[in-house]
Amino acid sequence: MNVSTLRGEADTPILDVAGLNVSFGTRAGDVRVVRDMSFRVARGDVFAVIGESGSGKSTMAQAVMGLLSGNAMTTGRITLAGQPILSLSPRARRRLCGERMALISQDALAALNPCTTVGFQIAETFMVHRGMSRRAAMRRAVELLAQTGIPSPEERVHHYPHEFSGGMRQRALIAIALALEPDLLIADEPTTALDATIKAQILQLLMRLRSELGMAVLIVTHDMGVGARMADRMLVMYAGRAVETGPVTDVFDVPAYLCAPCSRRCRVSIARARRCVRSPARRPRRRRSRTGARSIRAARWRCRNARRNCRSRSRSPMTA
């Protein structure tokens, strides 16, 4: 492999999403949940997707992994290290996702199989993808539990998920995701339902493993503090759309999408460690237009400081 080839691989983003649309078929028609999503994740970077609950963050992550339900319709382009993955067969995509990228689910108790030990669930990855024997795979499972900070891994490898605490279950999920040393780790709300101390430990663990393994991390969260602490770049989602993307410092210090009064109030609230001012209205509803398409009420319906120019047509994603 020559130098130009190596340089080309280094310049190619590990994940490139362009024009991603996800809709779900219902009796009332198709409901579009993700609209024209486009972003890139560079090799070794931490990229955060921030948005309120119901904005389509987890749906986007599941679309990248190919884990959506049967009534989901996905269009657009998703490439992993330059290789398109939407056109792959289910078998080829499962193998690619298992070896090149992995997912940490937000509900560890639901993600783990309650009928088998945690150690076997980790070892199964090596048995399926690497063809290792059960004994050798279990040894690797012990090593991964130790790497993720679980005490007494030789004993814990034989325990069931219900015998683990919430933080230990999350560490076990991380061990499963890192088993094959993927190039991209997608963490979907990895600190949900964890207390502040365990949350900080999980975030520190992810950053340490990222440095050790040199992988890229796509973290999905509604916690702006997590994004500010971990990420190099950030994408802000609202009602299924990407409304802003750029370096974390630019998104926080000079937000391009929020109006000046709202952005100032948010920054003051964060600086004073107070709760940010909540919008009085509910999330925008998806309703059917006369042409059969789905339209989403814009953020202006929820902002008490909306102005006349806010009522114009929806803007394209801002890039800092």
**In the predicted model, is pLDDT for residue 273 greater than 70?**
no
Phi first, then psi: give them for residue 260, nearest 5 degrees. -60, -50
Go through the domains of the chain in sequence order and give each one's CATH number: 45-58+90-258 (3.40.50.300)
Alpha-carbon gap, residue 54 to 33, rounded angstroms: 9
Confidence (pLDDT) at 6: 38
**In the predicted model, is pLDDT for residue 90 greater than 70?**
yes
**66 CB-contact burial (10 Å; exposed 0-12 / middle 13-18 / buried 19+):** middle
**In the predicted model, is pLDDT for residue 95 greater than 50?**
yes
**In the predicted model, is pLDDT for residue 295 greater than 70?**
no
The type of residue at 161 is P
Alpha-carbon gap, residue 27 to 77, rounded angstroms: 27
Structure tokens at 254: 């000079």
Confidence (pLDDT) at 296: 39
Phi first, then psi: give them for residue 238, nearest 5 degrees. -145, 125
Say if residues 245 and 60 touch (Cβ distance below 8 Å).
no
Say if residues 47 and 39 touch (Cβ distance below 8 Å).
yes
pTM of the model: 0.82
Confidence (pLDDT) at 260: 44
Across 299-313, b (16+ Cβ under 10 Å) vs e yields bbebbeeeeeeeeee
Going 281 to 287 to 289 to 291, the CA torsion angle's sign is positive
Confidence (pLDDT) at 311: 53
Which is higher by pLDDT, 9 or 187?
187
- Any idea what the Cα angle at residue 63 is, between residues 57 and 65, rounded to 5°? 110
**In the predicted model, is pLDDT for residue 233 greater than 90?**
yes
Which is higher by pLDDT, 98 or 280?
98
**In the predicted model, is pLDDT for residue 280 greater than 80?**
no
Confidence bin at 8 (pLDDT 50/70/90): very low
Phi first, then psi: give them for residue 120, nearest 5 degrees. -70, -35
Confidence (pLDDT) at 127: 94
Q: To which residue do tokens 């783990």 refer? A: 112
Say if residues 260 and 254 touch (Cβ distance below 8 Å).
no
Confidence (pLDDT) at 89: 87
**In the predicted model, is pLDDT for residue 139 greater than 90?**
yes
Q: To which residue do tokens 């190919």 refer? A: 66
Confidence (pLDDT) at 301: 52
For 127-146, what is the mean pLDDT?
95
Say if residues 137 and 168 touch (Cβ distance below 8 Å).
no
